[in-house]
Structures are given as structure tokens and as C-alpha cells.
Structure 1
Amino acid sequence: MTTEFATSYEPLPGRVGHVAAIESLMLDGRRYFFGFDHRSDLVVSPLIDDPAAMAAFAAAHLRQSDGPHDPAYWAALVAEAVDSSDLVDDDAERQFTTEELRDELPDPDSHLLYLLDAATDLDEETDLPAEVAQACERLNYAEPDEEEFADSVDDCLDAIITHGPLHHPDEWTVVRGYLTAAVAALPGNWGLLFGPLAEGLARYS
């Protein structure tokens, strides 16, 4: 049974063997678990909705600072991830619905944006359309090749949520370009969470 569970989910490319904790989130009332490397701010597993499968996956592909552990060890960490998180203080921040993701843009500096960045293998400098950098330059914001680019996305989101995209076309170019590219670069089944967000972008276009 353990072998079956472990092979039910393919590891994310290049993310095997990380020292990781177990985190979880709720999507449409269903709990999904995932491995998370806190030292690298990196998602290191697909979303897994079965606790035993998550424990088996972790035993096969992840480790702790003292090395690998068996599924029973990981099962205890999976159980803890139901009620606690090292990523957020408020449990409401890790609860999502497809309807909200499709109908609303992410809040600036939100846990949702943090997860998107942590799950995505995106090189902002090379993977974003050139129009994003051009819009940032016009706005005098940090461009994709700068560390503060995330702050630029937050500022643009704030302007759009407050006033709407029609009143802030450059800000919308930044937000749409970043979110579209990031969602397209998601590994594994993380589109379960962020696919509706991509669908919602079309509504604003």
C-alpha cells in the first residue's frame, strides 16, 4: 500500500530530497497537503488530498534535517498540518474557493500570491513579456530583473482593486503579465488552485 501511495504522485521536477515540512490548504472545502521547504520558500510536492498518500510521498521524496523517515513519522506531521501552519497565523488565509479565485484578484501581499511564487518555477527577468518591464519603467516601479519586483506587483494590484484596470492600464499590464506567466509555469497539479485565477484574468481583459 505504501508503494502504491508513493507512486500515485510524481515528484515535482528538480524538487526531490528537500528538507521539508508539511503544510496544507483548503480548496472548495477539501484539504490538500504539500511539502514545503521553508529555508528556500519553495513548494516541493504536488497537492495531495489523501493524508496517507502525503505521508508515503514524503517518505519517498522528502527528508528532515536528520535524514529520511518512514511514513508513520510523516503521518504525524501531516496530521499537525490540519490545524497549524508555519506560513500563516490566520487559518482563513489558507482557505480558498474556486468561485472567489475566478471572480477576485489576489490581495496585495497575500498568502495566495506567496504560494504562487513558491510553487512557480518562473524567471521574472526572462519569462515575462517585455511589455511588463516597459510598464514598470513608465510607472517608475522596480522591474522584473530587480528584487523589489514583487512590491511592484503588489502596488499595481492595489491600484487595480481600488480603481479598476481601465483607469490603470500600465498597472494592469504588470499584473496580467505576471499572473498569466506565473500560472503557466506552475508544476504538477498546482493548477488545481491557480487555474481558476487564470480563468478570472480573462474577465478583466
Structure 2
Amino acid sequence: MDKDLLKDTDPLPDRVGHVGGIESLTLDGRRHYYGFDYASDLVLSPMIEDPHVMADFASRHMRQSTGSHEAAHWAELVAAAVDGSALTDDDTTREFDSEALRAGLPEPGSHLLYLLGAATGWEDWSEEAPPEVRQAYRRLGFDEDDDEFLDHCLEAVHDHGAKARPDEWVVIRHHLTTAVHRLPGNWKLLFAPLAEGVTRIG
């Protein structure tokens, strides 16, 4: 794990001053905290390991519906983020292992994919897809408004394998590797192993 990335507490571009709360996850057994805008489904901060640093970050760069608050207020929310989440009822979905991420594809509709979208701001990677990916989209008949196309592709590849579903695999590989490349701050710590796994499978 890159120690320099772990120390990254710079605000994420265009995500300062949002109303939000605190979430947490564990990566390779180490807990990380992050700010989250629930109204926009948007990650608001880098992943921060030190709870005191997280509280200080939130006091300087985040708000709640009642306005700005001191670090002591945020420290209570940081502590609560250890025991529960407003994003998922299943605590096991907040636990990640780099080797496991390298070993396989994410499950369709998983919390991991949700976090990938929330961290990248739900950008549409199909708009910048190379010709072979656009051709795969067309052959698969995906509607531009279908926001579950990646889940459809993952289901097909999980069930039949990448070789049996080459178009779905092209879409998966493009979406995941492009999204990981565009991640802000140190969110690459969580998702870079996923991109490595996709490259290895392909």
C-alpha cells in the first residue's frame, strides 16, 4: 500500500462545502474514513485512516444541514461510522482485500461498484469509448439511458466466462479500467487492484 497516498488529505476537486456525513470501510484490515454526500451519492473526501484527521478535514471542508461544525462534532460522526453505515446494512460489504480484488470481477450491483460510481462522480465512460467498445455497445443493443448495462455485462461474464461473452467483456474492461484511471485522490488505493485483476483476466 502506497504510504504517500495514505497521507493524502487534500480536498477532492469541486467537492468542497457539500452537506454530508461520514462513512468508513476497511481495506486489507485497516479502516479508512471518508465524507459522503447522501443527496448526490457522491464521495466528498479522500480515504483517511486517522479518525482525528478525518474529523478535522470535515470541519474545514464539509457541512451538515445545520451548517459548519467544529472537529469535535465531526469526531462523533467518525466514531459512529465504525459501527454502521447509511449506505449498506451489510457490514461485510464494507470490508475489502486487495488480493481478492485482483482475483476476480466485482459482483453485479455490489457496494464496491456503487462506491466506484460515487468516487468518480458517476461519469459516463461510454462517451469516450474507442471504436471496438462502441461496436460492442451497439451489438449488445444497450440503450444510452440504461444505467444497469455494466451489471448486465458482469452477470453474463460471471455466468459464461469472458471468452464466451467477448462483447460484454470488452465493455467491462473499458468501463472498469477507465473509471479507475479517473478516480480522484487516493481512492486508487481501493480500486487499482480491481483494474489489475481485469487486465490479468483479459
Work out whether 1:197 is the aligned partner of 2:194.
Answer: yes
Deviation at 1:94, TM superposition (A): 0.8
Q: What is the match of residue 177 of structure 2?
A: 180
Q: Which runs of 4+ in 1 moved over 6 A?
A: none
- Give, as a single letter, the amino acid of the residue that structure 2 aligns with 1:126: E
In structure 2, C-alpha distance between the alignment counterparts of 1:22 and 1:200, rounded to whole Å: 29
Deviation at 1:163, TM superposition (A): 1.3
In structure 2, C-alpha distance between the alignment counterparts of 1:138 and 1:90, rounded to whole Å: 36
In structure 2, C-alpha distance between the alignment counterparts of 1:157 and 1:182, rounded to whole Å: 15
Q: What is the match of residue 153 of structure 1?
A: 150
Q: What is the match of residue 140 of structure 1?
A: 141
Q: What is the match of residue 46 of structure 2?
A: 46
CA RMSD of aligned residues (A): 1.4
Q: What is the match of residue 3 of structure 2?
A: none
TM-score (norm 2): 0.93
Q: Is the 8 A contact 2:8 2:186 kept in 1?
A: no
Q: Is the 8 A contact 1:128 1:181 kept in 2?
A: no
Deviation at 1:125, TM superposition (A): 4.3
Work out whether 1:60 is the aligned partner of 2:57.
Answer: no
Q: Is the 8 A contact 2:25 2:33 kept in 1?
A: yes
1:13-37 C-alpha deviation (Å, 9 max, x unpaired): 0100000110000111100000000
Work out whether 1:70 is the aligned partner of 2:70.
Answer: yes
- Consecutive unaligned residues in structure 1, runs of 5 or more: 1-6
Deviation at 1:59, TM superposition (A): 0.2
Bigger Cα displacement from structure 2, 7-16 vs 100-109: 7-16
Q: Is the 8 A contact 2:8 2:185 kept in 1?
A: no
Deviation at 1:88, TM superposition (A): 0.4
Q: 1:35 to 1:130 in 2, by over 3 A?
A: farther
In structure 2, C-alpha distance between the alignment counterparts of 1:8 and 1:97, rounded to whole Å: 20
Q: What is the match of residue 31 of structure 1?
A: 31
TM-score (norm 1): 0.91
Q: Is the 8 A contact 2:173 2:199 kept in 1?
A: no
Identity %: 56
SS for the counterpart of 1:191 is helix
Q: What is the match of residue 130 of structure 2?
A: 129
Listed as ranges, the matches of 1:5-24 within 5 Å are 9-24=9-24
In structure 2, C-alpha distance between the alignment counterparts of 1:29 and 1:54, rounded to whole Å: 18
In structure 1, C-alpha distance between the alignment counterparts of 2:148 and 2:82, rounded to whole Å: 31
Q: How many residues align?
A: 195
Deviation at 1:8, TM superposition (A): 6.2
SS for the counterpart of 2:186 is coil
In structure 2, C-alpha distance between the alignment counterparts of 1:77 and 1:131, rounded to whole Å: 46
In structure 2, C-alpha distance between the alignment counterparts of 1:163 and 1:54, rounded to whole Å: 43
Q: Is the 8 A contact 1:127 1:181 kept in 2?
A: no
In structure 2, C-alpha distance between the alignment counterparts of 1:166 and 1:125, rounded to whole Å: 22
Deviation at 1:203, TM superposition (A): 1.2
Q: What is the match of residue 4 of structure 1?
A: none
- Give, as a single letter, the amino acid of the residue that structure 2 aligns with 1:147: D
Q: Is the 8 A contact 2:126 2:175 kept in 1?
A: no
Work out whether 1:94 is the aligned partner of 2:94.
Answer: yes
